Amino acid sequence: MSIDNIIAKAVSCALKELYGIDADPAGIVPQSTKKEFEGNLTIVVFPWVKIARKSPEAVGKEIGDWLVANEPAVADFNVIKGFLNLVIEPTFWNSVLEHIDGEKDYGITPVTDDSQLVMVEYSSPNTNKPLHLGHVRNILLGWSLSQILEACGNKVVKTNIVNDRGIHICKSMLAWLKWGNGITPETAGKKGDHLIGDFYVLFDKNYKEEVKKLIAEGMSEDEAKNAAPLMQEAREMLRKWENHDPEVRKLWEMMNSWVYAGFDQTYDRMGVGFDKIYYESNTYLEGKEKVLEGLEKGVMYRKDDGSVWADLTADGLDHKLLLRSDGTSVYMTQDIGTAKLRYIDYPIDKMIYVVGNEQNYHFQVLSLLLDKLGFKWGKELVHFSYGMVELPNGKMKSREGTVVDADDLIEDMVRTAREVSAELGKLDGVSEAEAADICEMVGLGALKYFLLKVDPRKNITFDPKESIDFNGNTGPFIQYTYARIRSVLRKAAEEGIEITPYAAVAPNEKEIAIIQTLADFPQTVQMAGRSYSPALIANYTYELVKQYNQFYHDCSILREEDPAVRSLRLVICRNVARVIETAMRLLGIRVPERM
């Protein structure tokens, strides 16, 4: 039993004996005592003051006295207003460590047949350009959130919706027809998504020239944008696509296949994936059908021009267009269609959309519409809204080709990791293959950790140089500490050092702090799952690593002469390494055995 459970159960017994209060131990959650106060764990006594008919200080003192007299784990206490700070008997922390050491999957709640099924949607790319830095934050948040939710005992389905239809797709297709000269990814020596992205930029460049020329001839800007020959051709191509023109469809399938192959390479290198991928070309008609069904049931209404709308004014919103007068669908309709297909495929209990905060209103509307259309999870859907990623020099623009390409970014991170690691001597004595793997781990670890350590709701300015520092709150700092611990454990094994009983050892202050932080890990995972925040895992890991490095600096481990003390410290090392590895895995980050 964990220290938190022991204390919660003891407090429950104290409340029953002292005041006749039946308090479920599950509802009593000890917190780590603030650093400015003496103690290890704190109990908030305010909830029981009214029934006890005593002041918070008196209730805290009476519970504290009872615990010292009846619970061996509690050595002393102090009361600050309504906060009961408990000092845990030092040797008791050894049993806490032993409990942690004995747990096979420490901090992870197993998935059962009765577990809730959660679907997480992330990535959501367009097939007219490669993945960029904005997608990277989305993908890393979605993947990490999926790992965390599964670690909290949920069944998780990771899904992606690909925007593979629309005018933007036709722009790239038209540009390839006009200026591609039959080029392919193989003949260009280029990833397919990059090649198609080049044609999207090329379309925009030529389109702007046409618009500029028409404005010079006397048209307004809006007139010129609509009248530009390239835009007219792109719209005609879209009409042909929607009418299943065989040539247009064949071109669309070929170019999309190039993009998907390119996406897959990027996903693989990032170490992420999906259980199911949906395509808007398949879902938009399903959405139209569902909207018409809602029209028949009176959930939606039709205007005189034939367009279909939903009246959401009773819910504090406005009227929402779902089908245009020509019968074509909008994004909202496509999301409804995707929801329908997903509900057929999976018995979803909760749906989480990982989408930037510029779509907050969209998901307010979608939640209401799905609920009105009968999806049981519609009202409870979660829009995991996150902030934008910017660079020190400003925002990115896809049409102008000024985005930070995901592949280029990863390559730059890995190259920088090699330069910094070599400069600091981190690659000394390892083979080239091992050095390459370490640099891949460190480069990607730096990128992932930097983007995940910040509260997802906040905008973030990504600084590659800052992210790859081997000191401070960075991925490489944590990875290097893990490698250091693994080195200690290898040397202990090489020297034949065995773990002997350490129950009688009184841990010092730094050892107690580490054990207590290790004991906080399961609760941290659960909190990260409830609040949808990988940042909680990242910053917990940084605090643990900081504590370990101070302990490593101040306490002899392998050279400690007392076998019991040495054993205690080695078991601490073993479990710090284990928790670091688990925590970083939940962030999608690998850790190196040596460095």
SS3 sequence, 45-103?
CHHHHHHHCCCHHHHHHHHHHHHHHHCCCEEEEEEECCEEEEEECCCHHHHHHHHHHHC
Instruction: Give the C-alpha distances (Å, rounded to integers) separating 412 from 264, 442, 443, 508.
Output: 19, 12, 8, 44
Task: Tell me the pLDDT band of 397, cut-offs 50, 70 and 90.
Answer: very low
Residues 159-181 have a mean pLDDT of: 95
User: For helices 432-452 and 534-554, what crossing angle results, to 10°?
Assistant: 120
The reported pLDDT for the residue numbered 33 is 93
What share of the chain has pLDDT > 70, as a percent?
A: 98
Give the chain's mean pLDDT: 93
Inform me whether the pLDDT recorded for 359 exceeds 60: yes
Q: Which CATH superfamily is domain 3-89 in?
A: Arginyl tRNA synthetase N-terminal domain (3.30.1360.70)
Sequence spans of domains, the chain: 3-89, 165-272, 284-346, 416-586
In what helix (H) or strand (E) does residue 117 lie, and over which residues does it extend?
strand 117-121
The whole-angstrom separation of Cα 451 and Cα 163 is 24
CA 113, chain centre distance (Å) = 25
What share of the chain has pLDDT > 90, as a percent?
A: 87
Q: What are phi and psi of 85, to 5 degrees?
A: -95, 120
Inform me whether the pLDDT recorded for 400 exceeds 60: no
Encode pLDDT of 494-517 as tens digits.
999 999 999 999 999 999 999 999
Residues 160-166 have a mean pLDDT of: 94
Q: In a 3-state reduction of DSSP, which class is residue 556?
A: coil
Q: Which CATH superfamily is domain 416-586 in?
A: Isoleucyl-tRNA Synthetase; Domain 1 (1.10.730.10)
The reported pLDDT for the residue numbered 390 is 80
Inform me whether the pLDDT recorded for 393 exceeds 80: no
The reported pLDDT for the residue numbered 546 is 97
- Kindly tell me the burial class for residue 383, based on how many C-beta atoms sit within 10 Å of its own C-beta (0-12, 13-18, 19 or more): buried
The whole-angstrom separation of Cα 197 and Cα 538 is 34
Inform me whether the pLDDT recorded for 326 exceeds 90: no
Q: In a 3-state reduction of DSSP, which class is residue 345?
A: helix
Question: Could you identify the residue written with the tokens 């670690």?
Answer: 151
144-158, 419-433, 447-461, 578-592, range with the lowest pLDDT: 419-433
Could you list the beta-strand ranges (E) of 144-275: 155-162
- Counted residue by residue, the chain has a size of 595
The reported pLDDT for the residue numbered 580 is 98
Residue 482: name the closest of 333, 582, 362, 377 by CA: 582
Task: Tell me the pLDDT band of 354, cut-offs 50, 70 and 90.
Answer: very high
Task: Tell me the pLDDT band of 398, cut-offs 50, 70 and 90.
Answer: very low
Inform me whether the pLDDT recorded for 479 exceeds 90: yes
Residue ranges of alpha helices (H) inside 475-562 are 475-494, 509-519, 521-531, 534-554
Task: Tell me the pLDDT band of 94, cut-offs 50, 70 and 90.
Answer: very high
Could you list the beta-strand ranges (E) of 193-275: none
Inform me whether the pLDDT recorded for 396 exceeds 50: no
Could you list the beta-strand ranges (E) of 312-456: 319-323, 350-356, 382-386, 389-390
Do residues 67 and 10 lie in contact, with contact meaning Cβ atoms separated by under 8 Å? yes
Q: In a 3-state reduction of DSSP, which class is residue 288?
A: helix
Residues 175-200 have a mean pLDDT of: 96
Encode pLDDT of 415-473 as tens digits.
999 998 888 888 888 899 999 999 999 999 999 999 999 999 999 988 888 888 888 89
Q: What are phi and psi of 468, to 5 degrees?
A: -100, 10
User: Against a cut of 0.85, is the pTM above it?
Assistant: yes
Residues 399-405 have a mean pLDDT of: 61
The reported pLDDT for the residue numbered 1 is 67
Residues 328-343 have a mean pLDDT of: 91
The reported pLDDT for the residue numbered 417 is 92
Residues 352-360 have a mean pLDDT of: 95
Residues 162-167 have a mean pLDDT of: 92
At 546, which amino acid appears? K
Task: Tell me the pLDDT band of 67, cut-offs 50, 70 and 90.
Answer: very high
Q: What is the dihedral of CA 454, 458, 464, 469, to 10 degrees?
A: -30
Inform me whether the pLDDT recorded for 403 exceeds 80: no
